[in-house]
Amino acid sequence: MSDVPVHSSHTRPPAPARGTRYTVVGASGFVGSRLCRRLVAAGGTVTALVRPTTDTGAINKIGVRTVQGDLVSGQGLDEAVRGAEVVIHLGGVTRALSHQEYWGCNAQGADRLARAAAAATSPPVFVLCSSLAAAGPSSRDRPRTERDHPAPVSWYGRSKLAGELAARAWAGPMPVTIVRPPVVYGPGDALLMPSVRPMVRTGLLLQAGFGARGFSLVHVDDVCSALLAAAQRGDRVHPDDPARGIYHLSDGATHSWGSFGRAVAQALGQRRVPRVVPVPVTVVKAASAAAQTLGRMRGAPPALTRDKARELACEWWTCSHDKARRDLALGPPIEVRQGLRYLSRQ
Q: Domain residue spans in the chain? A: 21-185+218-251+318-334, 192-212+255-312
The answer to whether the Cα torsion of 144, 150, 151, 157 is positive or negative is positive
- Reduced to 3 states (helix: H, G, I; strand: E, B; else coil), residue 5 is coil
User: Which pairing describes strands 204-208 and 275-279: parallel, antiparallel, or unpaired?
Assistant: parallel
Name the band, by pLDDT with cuts 50, 70 and 90, for residue 172. Answer: confident
pLDDT of residue 1: 38
The answer to whether the Cα torsion of 250, 254, 258, 259 is positive or negative is negative
Let me know the angle formed at the C-alpha of 145 by 141 and 146, rounded to the nearest 5 degrees: 165
> pLDDT tens across 33-85, in order?
999 999 999 899 999 999 988 888 889 999 999 999 999 999 999 999 999 99
Query: CA 313 → CA 15, 153, 261, distances in Å?
Result: 39, 10, 19
Query: CA 255 → CA 100, 110, 258, distances in Å?
Result: 32, 31, 8
pLDDT of residue 344: 84
2: buried, middle or exposed (CB in 10 Å: 19+, 13-18, 0-12)?
exposed
* Packing angle, helices 30-41 and 220-233, rounded to 10: 60
Q: What is the DSSP string of 326-340?
A: HHTT--PPPPHHHHT
User: For residue 315, which amino acid is it?
Assistant: E
> pLDDT tens across 2-11, in order?
454 555 434 4
Domain 21-185+218-251+318-334, CATH class in plain words: alpha beta
Give how far the C-alpha of residue 36 lies from the chain's centroid of Cα atoms, to the nearest Å: 15
